[in-house]
């Protein structure tokens, strides 16, 4: 900081464009100079002054600061013997801690960061002087730290509180302002004086969740996305259920168009045992499995907010398939487990802290399918099918690293898939398949609230086209070991590619 006046002859003195930073400590009050000045200019010693100014100065106050009984805040101060002086224009007070001072004056602009308990930003024991009718003071922003409760429409917040019995706040102030609470809410205010003139108030005109806060819901939706991908693999295993042990893994990268988008990269695996039973109507295969999925997503909202979820789930379930003698089959699975989600973002609160959270929730899911195998030749069959998938992920309540509360609703995914797959037997050791399907998601909406205000909800609802091709290999006829390798492509609501590998030991 520099407050040294500069001059041209004896007719000009300035103390402008200074920055005063106070982040803690005690301001004493033994003399007037123990107050805080953004700038001080004097031309008295130069024999008079025609144009003296202390303008464009900034005072930043944060942390625990104690002011003495007579210590005041000045945006600028000029000492002139004659002529005009400007100690007001473009002077700015940025206040991010609650302080008590003797008085405050000569600031054209005010910015407040209030504590979560809404303690007044500035208490003056003697007086406060704002701008004039021609040049009023302006409250540029009123921010509130995260936590506690959120002021509702019509509620008033005290910015400046005057405690002296016989004085009121002097001057004029512009009547509109805006601000942010924590990392998640946007506010619009009307700025005015209290009826007794002793308080400067910000009255809430409107409040809503920030558009950028949608990234929080996208992060939670990542869990359902990963669960659906694992559910697809379980259905694929059910299609190929044979008596024995199996180990399947799939991985890939997909973009989900959720109103913004989520890019998911990850893998899923299942392992388990199946048994076969002959019935009067056909053959029944059933089994149990353990499942695990791991992935991360990067969400991007149109305003530029980015987030990343590192998710994993673990659980188990049952699967079964009944092949009837007329080539019709029915299949299904049931699964349950737990989901963990660690989310980070560049969603910033009023002090530049990034929002993050950790979430845990339970899930259940099922799928049922019905199809028919059509034999075209001794080597070629076509599987025509319809499948329904349901996945339910419980909601959760979290507190962001910015102290903002967020409530995530449960997410239900309902998908219908219709398709066909052509299977061709090359020889006893090698076979191939080629398929296509259409899938429609009926729900998949991630609703959430913060301080009771709804956050924009990303959705998986929509249509996806699926193409697949693969090969099955049996290395030796004498060994009950077989491998399946496949690749899947997606277009529409989901866009991307995934690869899969299956190992089975059948007996």
Q: What is the pLDDT of residues 361-392, one digit of tens each?
A: 999 999 999 999 998 888 899 999 999 999 99
- List, in order, residues 6 or more apart from 213 with CB less than 8 Å away: 183, 184, 305, 347, 450, 455, 456
State the DSSP H helix or E strand holding residue 214, giving kind and residue range, or none if neither.
helix 214-239
Q: What pLDDT band is residue 483 in, cutting at 50, 70 and 90?
A: confident
pTM: 0.88
Average pLDDT (100-128) is 93
pLDDT at 357: 97
- List, in order, residues 6 or more apart from 326 with CB less than 8 Å away: none
The least confident of 16-20, 191-195, 482-486 is 482-486
Q: Which two tokens stand for residue 157?
A: 């917040």
**Does the structural domain 212-506 have CATH classification 3.40.30.10?**
no
Average pLDDT, the chain: 89
User: What residues does 184 pair with on adjacent strands?
Assistant: none
Phi, psi of 396 (to 5 degrees): -160, 155
Q: What pLDDT band is residue 15 in, cutting at 50, 70 and 90?
A: confident
d(CA 361, CA 223) in angstroms, rounded, equals 9
d(CA 88, CA 13) in angstroms, rounded, equals 15
Q: Please report the sign of the dihedral spanned by the C-alpha atoms of residue 144, residue 120, residue 142, residue 93.
A: negative
d(CA 34, CA 316) in angstroms, rounded, equals 70
Q: Is 137 exposed, middle or buried (0-12, 13-18, 19+ CB in 10 A)?
A: buried
3-state SS string over 407-434?
A: EECCEEEEEEEEEEEEEEECCCCEEEEE
d(CA 23, CA 41) in angstroms, rounded, equals 25
d(CA 287, CA 244) in angstroms, rounded, equals 9
Q: Flag whether pLDDT at 292 surpasses 70.
A: yes
3-state secondary structure of 46: helix
- List, in order, residues 6 or more apart from 478 with CB less than 8 Å away: none
DSSP tag of 10: T
The domain limits of the chain are 6-211, 212-506
Which residue carries 């003296």 as its tokens?
Answer: 52
Q: Are 52 and 13 in contact (CB under 8 A)?
A: yes
Q: What pLDDT band is residue 411 in, cutting at 50, 70 and 90?
A: very high
């Amino acid at each position: 900081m520099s407050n040294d006046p500069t001059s041209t002859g004896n007719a000009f003195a300035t103390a402008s464009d200074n920055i005063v930073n106070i982040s803690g400590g005690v301001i004493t009050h033994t003399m007037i100079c123990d107050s805080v000045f953004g700038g001080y200019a004097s031309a008295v010693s130069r024999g008079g002054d025609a144009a003296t100014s202390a303008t464009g100065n900034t005072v930043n106050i944060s942390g625990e600061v104690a002011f003495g009984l007579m210590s005041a805040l000045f945006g600028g101060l000029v000492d002139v013997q004659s002529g005009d002086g400007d100690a007001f224009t473009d002077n700015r007070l940025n206040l991010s801690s609650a302080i008590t001072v003797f008085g405050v004056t000569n600031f054209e602009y005010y910015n407040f960061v209030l504590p979560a308990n809404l303690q007044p930003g500035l208490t003056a024991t003697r007086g406060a002087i704002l701008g004039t009718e021609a040049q009023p003071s302006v409250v540029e922003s009123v921010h509130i730290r995260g936590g506690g409760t959120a002021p509702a429409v019509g509620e008033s917040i005290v910015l400046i509180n005057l405690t002296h019995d016989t004085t009121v706040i002097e001057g004029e102030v512009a009547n509109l302002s805006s601000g942010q609470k924590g990392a998640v809410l946007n506010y619009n205010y009307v700025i005015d004086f209290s009826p007794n003139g002793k308080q400067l108030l910000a009255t809430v005109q409107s409040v809503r969740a920030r558009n950028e806060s949608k990234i929080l819901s996208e992060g939670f939706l990542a869990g359902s996305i990963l669960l659906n991908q694992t559910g697809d693999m379980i259905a694929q295993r059910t299609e190929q259920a044979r008596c024995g042990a199996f180990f399947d893994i799939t991985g890939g990268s997909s973009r989900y168009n959720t109103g913004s988008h989520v890019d998911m990269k990850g893998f899923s695996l299942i392992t388990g045992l199946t048994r076969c039973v002959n019935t009067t109507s056909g053959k029944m295969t059933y089994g149990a499995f353990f499942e695990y999925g791991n992935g991360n997503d990067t969400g991007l909202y149109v305003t530029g907010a980015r987030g990343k979820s590192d998710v994993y789930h673990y659980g188990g379930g049952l699967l079964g398939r009944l092949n009837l003698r007329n080539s019709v089959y029915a299949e299904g699975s049931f699964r349950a487990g737990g989901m963990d989600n660690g989310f980070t973002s560049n969603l910033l609160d009023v002090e530049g802290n990034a929002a993050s959270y950790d979430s845990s929730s339970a899930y259940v899911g099922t799928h049922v399918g019905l199809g028919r195998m059509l034999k075209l030749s001794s080597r070629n069959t076509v599987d025509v099918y319809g499948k329904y998938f349901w996945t339910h992920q419980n909601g959760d309540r979290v507190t962001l690293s910015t102290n903002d509360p967020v409530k995530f609703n449960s997410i239900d995914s309902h998908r219908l898939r219709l398709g066909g797959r052509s299977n061709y037997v090359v020889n006893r050791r090698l076979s191939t398949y080629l398929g296509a399907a259409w899938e429609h998601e009926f729900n998949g909406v991630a609703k959430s609230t913060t301080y009771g205000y709804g956050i924009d909800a990303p959705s998986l609802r929509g249509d996806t086209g699926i193409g697949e091709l693969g090969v099955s290999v049996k290395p030796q006829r004498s060994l009950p070991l077989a491998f399946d390798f496949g690749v899947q492509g997606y277009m529409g609501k989901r866009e991307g590619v995934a690869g899969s590998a299956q190992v089975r030991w059948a007996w």
